[in-house]
Amino acid sequence: MLTTQNGKFYLDGNEFKLYSGAIHYFRVLPEYWHDRLLKLKAMGLTTVETYVAWNIHEPKEGEFTFDGIADIRKFILTAKELGLYVIVRPGPYICAEWDFGGFPAWLLKYEDVRLRCYEDRYMYYVERYLRKLFEQIADLDYSNGGNIIAMQVENEYGSYGRDKKYLSALKAIYRNAGVKCMLFTSDGEHKSNLSGGRVEDELMVANFGSNPKRKFSDLKEMQPDKPLVCGEFWCGWFTTYCGNYNSGSSASQVAGYLKEFIDLDAGFNFYMFHGGTNFGFTAGANCYRHYLPDIASYDYGAPLTEWGDYTDKYRKCREIIFKARGVEPMALPDRPLTCAYPKVELTEEIGFKQALESVSTLHHSNIPYPMEHYGQNQGYILYTTEFSGSYGDSKLTFENVHDVAYVWVDGEYKGRFNRLDVDYYKGGKDEYSVDVKGFDGTIKIEVLVEAMGRVNYGAKIYDRKGLTGVRIGDQYIYGWEVRTIPLDEIDKLAKNESQIKAAYPKFYRGSFEIKGAIRDTFIDMQGFTKGCVFINGFNLGRYWNEGPQRTFYIPAPLLKEQNEIVIFEQERAYTNSVGFQEKPIYGKYLPENGKPKFRFWFKKSK
């Protein structure tokens, strides 16, 4: 069992150096777990750390899954086969630049549930989840012959709240469910963070990305008899839409900080060692002055790239770690093989309205609620109503729009709201208005709202998607048809037998054959504006020409001899084909009012 004494770690009575790296099993296809873990070991690390994403395991209330990419037990056992120890961070909140910080979206349909505190209903759901999780992995505790040596309680709680009753209750749930290993908390390096998030009698670790000697000072003062550990050594950083690619610190800087950890005899955990991918709609967002959603790639500027290749950070750190351990480096596993497949013609167009019956579920709702009310986790939601009356020139106003909305009145496109444009520091609101000419009779309103990722950190975490109200002038409008469009069963998308050119938004479909070896590749979305792309029914993620991500990673296990591509384009495409690249492409951020920049436009809906 892992213990501490006189400022050092001991495992089975022998001094233990905590050299760890983060890989999130839910960001890597299971077929590649062995490869990524082997490359972690080949860098000299002895331990792998992973968060646990609650929303992966309980996507629907009371329905749990631990299969496929959610098979955390298999991930831990794969690490064990390779001789690696494991640190597990079960949450229930994880941040991780992951949608809603790992919380399942269905929690937001309950107005009375308060997150991350001791509140009865929330604690009921938390305990149910944790017990199900520990049924899967508690027996893999090191004391039982497994390889789990430590678990984290909550996550950076000192940056959010100060509820010791909540933290103590979580610890009790862990222990009562059979978790025997060392427990710890991780927080920012300052006393305020560390003291707010600490659990009595348990190890504290600090999270930071530079200058270990200085940033360990508060931790050392508060915990003088315990080992110094950086729970998240930020060797890279995440990237948001409407910004440039962010690789974090350089290889030389990371190597320099790593040497400082070793000179201090401190433990460390590379965050991330291997970032992986925010497949589908799983990427989260931050919200301070502006709402900023994360891109699909979680490459993170990590030592191992999104597609499992080596970097200068990897090579420099590998040399330092093996030297510190005093052992010869093991042979490097093979680099990944990638290729650029031939361009694919998109031979079919399906209009958004034509597709609705096959990709959406209809709800009748007097009030236009957010998508969580209807049991929808992610994707798009369409609000439609018709009402009669006599009005002069008026404004239609849409309230609490999260995150991007397109508005049509009597079939005429009226404009787009983009939450990223809201400046909260200047009092901006998630509200959008369009002008409507006076009428005497019936008017039809359609609003398509895209969820761009729930806030995963801070006070704005209650981030419901869709909208909460529509009014004409000062009158609220009631009586809506609501279509939830999660796009989680794209294989049901209708066919377009007539091949008539469709108006935007629309779906494109094409197919291609692979002869010979199937390899990883990157689909190139530079001819498209905004939407999401699927390969053989698997959602690769959101694209947006405002950047910076231009290509999207396709792991080889998603491909087969005969393949189908589906693209949902919300605004405009400039091509009827899609290509592939051997390596990823990142472009510079192109603001909507900058040059060169295509102007968005829509054809009138039929």
Give the model's pLDDT for residue 497: 76
Q: Cis bond leading into 596, ω under 30°?
A: yes
Tokens representing 143 are 């004391």
Give the model's pLDDT for residue 602: 29
For residues 126 and 120, what is the distance between their CA atoms, to the nearest angstrom? 10
For residues 581 and 564, what is the distance between their CA atoms, to the nearest angstrom? 17
Residues in the chain with pLDDT < 70? 589-606
Positions marked catalytic: 156, 232
Give the model's pLDDT for residue 363: 98
- Residue 397: which of 287, 496, 322, 471 has the closest Cα? 471
pLDDT digits (tens, 9 = 90+) for 391-411: 999 999 999 999 999 999 999
3-state helix, strand, coil in the chain (%, to 5): 25, 35, 40
**Complete domains list, the chain, with CATH:** 2-325 (3.20.20.80), 344-350+490-581 (2.60.120.260), 367-478 (2.60.120.260)
Residue recorded with tokens 């792998």: 48
- Residue 64: which of 134, 151, 155, 148 has the closest Cα? 134
Beta-bridge partner residues of 565: 510, 535
Tokens representing 187 are 């927080």
Q: What are phi and psi of 170, to 5 degrees?
A: -65, -45
For residues 475 and 158, what is the distance between their CA atoms, to the nearest angstrom? 43
Give the model's pLDDT for residue 589: 65
Q: Cis bond leading into 92, ω under 30°?
A: yes
Tokens representing 291 are 């709402």
Give the model's pLDDT for residue 500: 72
